[in-house]
Amino acid sequence: MHFRHDGRLLTVHTPAKVNLFLEILGKRPDGYHELETLMVSVGLYDTLCFTEEPSQQISLRCFSAGATSSGTRGEIKTASDGDVPGGADNLIVRAAELLRRQAGVGKGAGIGLFKRIPVAAGLAGGSSDAAATLAGLNRLWRLQWTGRELHRLASQLGSDVNFFLAGAGAAICRGRGERVTPLDVPLQLHFVIVRPGAGLATGTVFRQWQASAAPHRVDALAECLKAGRPDRVARYLHNALQPPAETLSPEVTRLREFFSRQPVLGHMMSGSGTSYFGLCSHRGQALQVASRLRAARVGRVSVVSSRS
Ligand code: C5P
């Protein structure tokens, strides 16, 4: 997360993530699933702008900033994008209202969201925006809440929010996803990511999941990452949500078949989908595969690298 204060305006750039590993260890009494997942944050950003408002209102305006690819900025569309839920349903508004209530703040905020991270994509754009809102408003309203206090609110908003709040380049997340152990990864990973035409709701994919006999463990992957071996990383990519997602989305299956013919180190769906990524040996390879994906018109394509 990057912050910039310019007079009354606070700007926050907040990243997307991809899951290199996601195992479900069982269903919990609260209806959620017990997870072991390894996430890396990648250089695809939403931008949030905050200004303090004297009234107690939280107002949100969303702009679709279009696709980013090859590091270029997409065109800004002026109107609110139909894909991005506006109003009280948006996780940004829920995060802002929660912090305002809990901190007893007598002010409001105007928030602008420039959306680049595809929605319903398994890239956790909504969670990243919520984390940016907690961290951003903590500064804007000069609350001086500690990380621990903000983490408590983050876990009430969604399972991935704590990962972004922690600001780690990579982490193993357990529990619902809210227990974050940062991981030191001494190498940059290069990805080509495609979000097909249709997304999937996280809850729908989880409900479709069926237990497997022997769960995979994250340790081997974590060791390869720590040792700086991307070639070995590919061997341990695993996502327990991919089989259920493929029963719901033929586009995910088509992407798996497409990627199996590409010269990538490995490939997999991210999170609950429907985004699909190829792990590449270098950025040039990612750009090459991206141009094939664009020619095949299979969805919105981005070339990104992990952040340290
Ligand atoms: O926590 P979040 O709001 O992102 O989760 C969205 C939905 O995904 C939940 O309502 C739940 O159905 C499912 N989920 C789950 N187990 C998790 C995380 C999410 O079942 N660990």
C-beta of residue 96 within 8 angstroms of C-beta of residue 10: no
Q: How far is the CA of 244 from the centre of ligand 1 (A)?
A: 15
- SS3 of 87-127: the string is HHHCHHHHHHHHHHHHHCCCCEEEEEEEECCCCCCCCCHHH
Predicted local confidence at residue 215, as pLDDT: 94
Residue nearest to atom 9 of ligand 1 (CA): 203
Of 13, 11, 38, which is closest to residue 23 (Cα–Cα)? 38
Options 17, 46, 115, 129, the catalytic residue: 17
Phi, psi of 183 (to 5 degrees): -125, 130
Ligand 1 atom showing the smallest separation from residue 272 Cα: 8
pLDDT tens sequence across 150-166: 999 999 999 999 999 99
| Residue 282 backbone zone (phi > 0: left; psi -120 to 50: alpha; other: beta) | beta
Average pLDDT over residues 178-196: 96
Both tokens assigned to 177: 């996803």
C-beta of residue 57 within 8 angstroms of C-beta of residue 113: no
pLDDT tens sequence across 17-55: 999 999 999 999 999 999 999 999 999 999 999 999 999
DSSP alpha helix (H) spans, 239-282: 242-248, 250-260
Compare 81 and 87 and report the one with higher pLDDT. Answer: 87
User: Does residue 228 sit in helix, strand or coil?
Assistant: coil
Q: Measure the CA–CA gap between 225 and 144, rounded to whole angstroms.
A: 35
DSSP alpha helix (H) spans, 146-266: 147-157, 161-166, 202-208, 219-226, 230-233, 242-248, 250-260
Query: 307 pLDDT band (50/70/90 cuts)?
Result: confident
Give the number of other CB atoms < 10 A from CB of residue 294. 15
Q: Write out the DSSP string of 18-70.
A: EEEEEEEEEE-TTS-EEEEEEEEEEEEEEEEEEEEESSS-EEEEEEE----BT
Residue nearest to atom 8 of ligand 1 (CA): 203
C-beta of residue 170 within 8 angstroms of C-beta of residue 306: yes
Both tokens assigned to 262: 């590409």
Ligand 1 atom showing the smallest separation from residue 202 Cα: 8
pLDDT tens sequence across 104-144: 999 999 999 999 999 999 999 999 999 999 999 999 999 99
Residue nearest to atom 11 of ligand 1 (CA): 203
Instruction: Write the CB contacts of 29 (distance below 8 Å, at least 6 apart in sequence).
Output: none
| pLDDT of 254 over the 60 cut | yes
Ligand 1 atom showing the smallest separation from residue 35 Cα: 21
Q: What proportion of the chain, given as a percentage, has pLDDT over 90? A: 88
C-beta of residue 170 within 8 angstroms of C-beta of residue 183: yes
Ligand 1 atom showing the smallest separation from residue 33 Cα: 16
Predicted local confidence at residue 213, as pLDDT: 80
* Cα angle: 127, vertex 133, 37; to 5 degrees: 25
pLDDT tens sequence across 231-247: 899 999 999 999 999 99
Options 46, 115, 129, 160, the catalytic residue: 160
Q: How far is the CA of 185 from the centre of ligand 1 (A)?
A: 27
| pLDDT of 71 over the 60 cut | no
Predicted local confidence at residue 226, as pLDDT: 93
Q: Which residues line ligand 1 (CB under 6 A)?
A: 32-33, 35, 158-160, 176-177, 202-203, 206
Of 158, 49, 161, which is closest to residue 109 (Cα–Cα)? 49
Tell me the pLDDT of the chain averaged across its residues: 92
C-beta of residue 151 within 8 angstroms of C-beta of residue 159: no
User: Does residue 82 sit in helix, strand or coil?
Assistant: coil
Q: Cα 192 from chain centroid?
A: 15
| pLDDT of 69 over the 70 cut | no
Predicted local confidence at residue 78, as pLDDT: 36
Both tokens assigned to 57: 């209102």
| 27 in catalytic set | no
| 160 in catalytic set | yes
Q: How far is the CA of 201 from the centre of ligand 1 (A)?
A: 10
Q: Cα 271 from chain centroid?
A: 9
